[in-house]
């Protein structure tokens, strides 16, 4: 099929009929099942819901390739209207049975047009080694690999309890206290938590042309609202320095009831001034203990770390995390 034979249609999930949103959700389910056939399936309904979840200050545009009522390809371009105004992030998938027919190239061309219209000079996107065509497609577009990432998994049954006990041991004169939240962050901690989350700007960015991100209380409330709408469970543990009241470290995980065996580890971060006191290990051990109560069905924890992030990789490898998927973040410079 030639590129000109592919019909790419603009798609607005806020005004589209529910059955069309569900068709795009089903496409995402089919692509996931092809890449991860042994994994618990994801939900077409939740994937459809995600299409309409937008953060404050974000704008996105979607395109679909239709075959009758079936969505055979989908792409989206996301732009922040307040920060990193030179940047856009793209997502693009094609049904496994419709690949090598020009759908991906047609969707990429539509997304590039939007990026140029929005004067975004850098477009980022992600591939993984579970999708064999991703890397060749990125090279075909002229993109360059900017940040290699290791997705790892930890089998909870294999965790060394003695190691966890050692990491939980703290000095008697401990100046830190803990906060555990499995719902919205209390209002009195919201500003401090937003400030702490920006520590993630110190994580390796590789070659990404990306400015530091500013986290606001409104963004946190937006993340919380999206998670609640999708039925996602969240658990966050923060460390407060009692000498100053400053939050100096945190770790966060999430999971969904229908895929309760898999815990997704989000950020774990410690302020530079508080590093070297074992707080990262303490947080990891505390989270493992908490999950036995909060998520008894959990079997594995999954996390992503930049290959350049030696400190966090060291902690995870010591716990028993094993490489599972190789992920690459790419960037395409538009001339």
Q: Where residue 1 falls among pLDDT bands split at 50, 70, 90?
A: very low
**Class at the top of the CATH hierarchy for domain 3-120:** alpha beta
Question: pLDDT tens-digit profile of 302-311?
Answer: 999 999 999 9
Mean pLDDT of 63-85: 98
What is the structure's pLDDT at 6?
86
Mean pLDDT of 68-87: 98
Widest pairwise Cα distance in the chain: 71
What is the structure's pLDDT at 335?
84
- Tell me: pLDDT of 31 over 80: yes
SS3 140: helix
Question: pLDDT tens-digit profile of 132-183?
Answer: 899 999 999 999 999 999 999 999 999 999 999 999 999 999 999 999 999 9
- Provide the mean pLDDT of the chain: 96
Mean pLDDT of 7-33: 98
Give exposure, 283-311, as e/b (b: 16+ Cβ within 10 Å). bbbbbbebbeebbeebebbbbbbbbebee
What is the structure's pLDDT at 174?
92
Above pLDDT 90, what percent of the chain?
96
What is the structure's pLDDT at 2?
42
Q: How far apart are the first and last CA of the chain?
A: 28
Question: pLDDT tens-digit profile of 238-283?
Answer: 999 999 999 999 999 999 999 999 999 999 999 999 999 999 999 9
Mean pLDDT of 288-309: 96
What is the structure's pLDDT at 292?
93
Question: pLDDT tens-digit profile of 185-217?
Answer: 999 999 999 999 999 999 999 999 999 999 999
Query: Which residues, other chains included, contact 74 with Cβ-Cβ below 8 Å and sequence gap of 6+?
Result: 11, 24, 27, 28, 62, 63, 64, 65, 91, 92, 93, 107
Q: What's the whole-model pTM score?
A: 0.93
- Tell me: pLDDT of 5 over 90: no
Helix (H) or strand (E) holding 25: helix 18-35
**Class at the top of the CATH hierarchy for domain 152-327:** alpha beta
So where are the chain's domains?
3-120, 152-327
Fold agreement (3-120, 152-327):
yes
- Tell me: pLDDT of 35 over 70: yes
């Amino acid at each position: 099929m030639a590129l000109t034979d592919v019909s790419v249609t603009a798609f607005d999930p806020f005004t589209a009929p529910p059955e069309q949103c569900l068709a795009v959700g089903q496409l995402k389910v089919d692509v996931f099942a092809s890449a991860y056939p042994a994994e618990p399936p994801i939900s077409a309904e939740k994937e459809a819901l995600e299409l309409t979840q937008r953060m404050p200050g974000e704008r996105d545009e979607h395109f679909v390739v239709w075959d009758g009522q079936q969505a055979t390809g989908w792409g989206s371009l996301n732009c922040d209207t307040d920060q990193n105004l030179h940047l856009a992030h793209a997502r693009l998938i094609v049904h496994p049975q419709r690949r090598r027919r020009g759908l991906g190239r047609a969707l990429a061309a539509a997304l590039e047009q939007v990026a140029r219209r929005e004067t975004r000079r850098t477009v980022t996107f992600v591939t993984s080694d579970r999708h064999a065509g991703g890397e060749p497609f990125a090279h075909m577009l002229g993109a360059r690999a900017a940040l290699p990432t290791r997705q790892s998994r930890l089998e909870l049954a294999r965790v060394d309890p003695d190691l966890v006990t050692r990491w939980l041991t703290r000095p008697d004169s401990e100046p830190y206290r803990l906060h555990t939240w499995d719902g919205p962050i209390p209002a009195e901690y919201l500003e401090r938590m937003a400030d702490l989350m920006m520590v993630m700007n110190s994580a390796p960015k590789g070659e990404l042309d990306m400015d530091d991100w500013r986290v606001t209380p409104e963004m946190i409330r937006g993340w919380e609202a999206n998670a609640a709408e999708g039925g996602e469970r969240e658990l966050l543990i923060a460390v407060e320095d009692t000498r100053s009241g400053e939050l100096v470290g945190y770790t966060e995980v999430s999971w969904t009831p229908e895929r309760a065996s898999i815990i997704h580890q989000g950020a774990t971060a410690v302020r530079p001034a508080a590093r070297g006191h074992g707080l990262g290990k303490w947080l990891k051990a505390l989270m493992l203990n908490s999950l036995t109560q909060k998520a008894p069905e959990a079997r594995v924890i999954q996390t992503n770390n930049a290959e350049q992030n030696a400190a966090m990789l060291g902690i995870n490898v010591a716990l028993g995390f094993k490489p599972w998927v190789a992920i690459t973040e790419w960037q395409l410079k538009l001339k």
